[in-house]
Amino acid sequence: MSHRQVRARGLAVLQEGLSGRDLAIIGQVADLRLMSGRQIAAVHFAESEHETATAATRACNRVLARLVRDRLLARLDRRVGGVRNGSSGFVYALGTVGHRCLALDGPRPRFREPGPTFALHTLAVAQLVVDCTLAARDKRFDVLSCQAEPRCWRQFTSMNGGVVVRPDLFLALGVGEYEHRFFLEVDRGTEHLPVLIKKCRLYESYYASGREQADHGVSPRTCWVVPDEPRALRLRQAIDRDRHLTNQLFVVTINSRALAVLAGGGS
């Protein structure tokens, strides 16, 4: 038996031993690119399914340790919130065996420790997904579609040729009889406002292309989620002043109000 066959058999045995929850964890980490231990615990180890919150945390830690051991997940050296956050502060990415297990397209990537800016932004996007998932469990709305990068990217043709608009996230939420669709941009206050306005103009061009309306019958609004009220005000004023932008296409909110704004359709 060749080395490749031995590896294939080993992978098959490993896959047979994975639970539905294991696969769900691996799949979500692959989709969101990075998740913290706390985020994984919130989604996949509900306290209501364990005797205590401590029992839920311990179960999560055991599972994550096993997934890292088997290289289904990779654990970053950097923690979120420092050492005091313990195991919940660890950050996880898809491991090399996890890539094979999910049969993802393309060559298996070599794991590289991401920089802090990328990691913190990616975790902020993941937190929005976690918050929406938990809100849906509480029956606040239904998550009809959730697309992370690069699945949420949209390609269209403009006067300058082919263009790609790259949201951080696409969400379609069912609220009663209504469906609310959004492109999400999670801003951590690290970019200058002209950079954000330039991206708003790209969304405006995409809207004008009619591509989304032709494919889905409606164009999503773009929701900017920013860290604080002063930045939200500055961005809102910059959008209002820009004569190239359709104000109704954009909504600006802060992290603590994001779910309420999304559930309300951005009103």
pLDDT recorded at residue 6: 43
Q: How far apart are CA 184 and CA 125, in angstroms?
A: 9
Nearest residue to 186 (alpha-carbon basis) of 102, 104, 130: 130
Whether domain 123-263 has CATH 3.30.9: no
Q: Assign domain 3-113 to a CATH class.
A: mainly alpha
| Structure-derived torsion over alpha carbons of residues 46, 52, 57, 61, reported in degrees to the nearest 10 | -100
Q: Which residue has the tokens 């951590």?
A: 188
pLDDT recorded at residue 216: 86
In terms of phi and psi (left: phi > 0; alpha: psi -120 to 50; beta: otherwise), the region of 59 is alpha
Question: pTM value?
Answer: 0.90
Q: How far apart are CA 139 and CA 122, in angstroms?
A: 26
Residue-wise pLDDT for 22-75, tens only, equals: 999 999 999 999 999 999 999 999 888 887 888 999 999 999 999 999 999 999
pLDDT recorded at residue 1: 36
pLDDT level of residue 238 (50, 70, 90 thresholds): very high
pLDDT level of residue 2 (50, 70, 90 thresholds): very low
Residue-wise pLDDT for 173-188, tens only, equals: 999 999 999 999 999 9
**What residue ranges do the domains of the chain occupy?**
3-113, 123-263
**Strands 178-186 and 221-226: what pairing?**
parallel
Residue-wise pLDDT for 108-156, tens only, equals: 667 788 899 999 999 999 999 999 999 999 999 999 999 999 999 999 9
DSSP per-residue string spanning 81-98: S-GGGGGGGEEEEE-HHH
Residue-wise pLDDT for 200-223, tens only, equals: 999 999 999 999 998 888 899 999
